[in-house]
Amino acid sequence: MPDSAIRRLLEFDEQVLRDRDQNPAFLHRRDRRFALDCREKGVTPAPARWLEHVRRLANRGPNGDPLKPWRRITAGFVLAGLITGILAMLGLLFYDGGQRINLTVILAFVLLQCVLAGITTVQAFAGWQPWHWLLRKLSVSSRSDALRALQPLLMARAAHAGGLMFGLAGLLTLLVLVVIQDLAFGWSTTLNTGADSYYRLLAAIASPWQNLWPAAVPDLELVEATRFFRSQSAGTTDPALWGSWWPFVAMTWVTYVILPRLILLVLAIVHPGLRARKALANHHGLIALQYRMETPTVDTGNRHNDAADQPDINTSTRLQPLPDAPAIIRWAGAGMPELPQALSADYQEVLSAGGSASLEHDHNIINLASQALADIGAPAVIIVTRSWEPPTGELSDFLQQARQVWPKGTTIALVPMAPEPDQPPPNHHINQWLRFAERAGDERIVISTPAITPPDTRIHNALQDEHRE
């Protein structure tokens, strides 16, 4: 597709604007994970693959075609060119049987078309927008800097498409009138111009096709015989000579009206794609994306920027009871080889995600869990993790993606497991997961253990037993 580079640039620019509302740490983890997956597959993390990766994470399809309004504008120019081309040729070839059709007027009109085609191309390369009033009226003018820079090129494409249709419609009208009417061409000018000078002008004009179609090249005798003046009638001129000019007129129209528009239209189709590729390569968002993909992510749990500060271990989050959940997910191999009886007794789906699994696998696990959560009044999912391993950025990405897919209000219970499945994890392991849930800022993400009683209560009960003894 000739516009694929433009669509890629506009989608990338839109995604960069959307990422401004995201947490920088989340963006870093997301893009770093994408780069690592590309490295494992042996592919280049190109912008097109990155956009596909982001769409898959957001569980959305490709955006609408941003060039659809421009296709409508081009179609409007083509329709206008068709109508005006027919009317213009009818006006140029108007013949009432008395006055001759003046070749000088036709040549001047052809010259005007060449000038208009040149101006259209120059304004596109220079970035002028003489059509800006029309874009505002049609509500096509974009606020995106990426699209705004391409608007002169896209408008030039539409104008050239209309100009090409203008030329084709004019040529078809000429051929039809040649068949159905007896046209009489001649040449005349108010200036004191001799037949020799006029012949040299016409020979220069006809030089591109003199070998291709010699009959369309006028000779000096024809030029001398078909000159007319204001009050001159046909006289002794052979009437057949008046109609001998139509091949020259047709080839002049093809060479200087249709061919320039065709060449410039091809250039107007190719040039925006090249400009879009260059703009994407220099896009400020691409530079930031490459930095995030090349830099490893580290999550220390410290909310301060000063390295001399100690991690904040205080948290107001508390352990919550295990919810009734139809699905349980082992994260990065936690709970292997088998889950404790307290976890696996009443659950229908036991799934695995994270670790060495690919993003596609994790996405499929989220969809399977979503199917298990369908038609449940209080949906909940349990995710088993290793308590001694700190929360990772990959787990944060997994949870964010899952919250977008799973039913609204789904409780996500993270269950950190101790090395010994039948033993509760130590408090300093639990604290780092409680801080993780607190930083997530979502009440639906809770921390639980196989034992429903929170650690503080267990300590209180142990002190009471010691006191009784």
CATH number at residue 398: 3.40.50
Tokens found for residue 43: 């592919």
Does the structure show a pLDDT above 50 at 58?
A: yes
List the end-to-end C-alpha distance of the chain, in Å, as a whole number.
83
Domain contains 241? yes
Number of CB atoms found within 10 A of residue 67's CB: 18
Domain contains 321? no
Domain contains 283? no
Domain contains 318? no
Residues 344, 328: contact at Cβ < 8 Å?
A: yes
Nearest to 390 by CA among 468, 454, 332, 463: 332
Domain contains 60? no
* Mean pLDDT within 443-460: 60
Are 270 and 368 members of one domain? Answer: no
* Mean pLDDT within 279-305: 75
Residues 385, 433: contact at Cβ < 8 Å?
A: yes
Are 338 and 266 members of one domain? Answer: no
Are 127 and 246 members of one domain? Answer: yes
- Per-residue model confidence (pLDDT) at position 267: 94
* Rounded Cα distance, 28 and 34, in Å: 10
**450-464: buried (b, 16+ CB within 10 Å) or exposed (e) per residue?**
bbeebbeeeeeeeee
Domain contains 308? no
69-78, 135-144, 315-324, 408-417 — which is least confidently predicted?
A: 135-144
- Per-residue model confidence (pLDDT) at position 260: 95
Are 91 and 233 members of one domain? Answer: yes
* Mean pLDDT within 445-461: 57
- Per-residue model confidence (pLDDT) at position 169: 97
Are 274 and 354 members of one domain? Answer: no
Q: Which of 243, 278, 313 is the last residue of a domain?
A: 278
Are 273 and 367 members of one domain? Answer: no
212-221, 295-304, 360-369 — which is least confidently predicted?
A: 295-304
Q: Is the pLDDT higher at 301 or at 412?
A: 412
The tally of domains found in the chain comes to: 2
* Rounded Cα distance, 301 and 391, in Å: 9
Q: What domain range includes position 445?
A: 327-468
* Average pLDDT for the chain: 80
Spacing of C-alpha 387 from chain mean position = 43
- The residues pairing with 210 across neighbouring beta strands, listed in sequence order, are none
Does the structure show a pLDDT above 90 at 298?
A: no
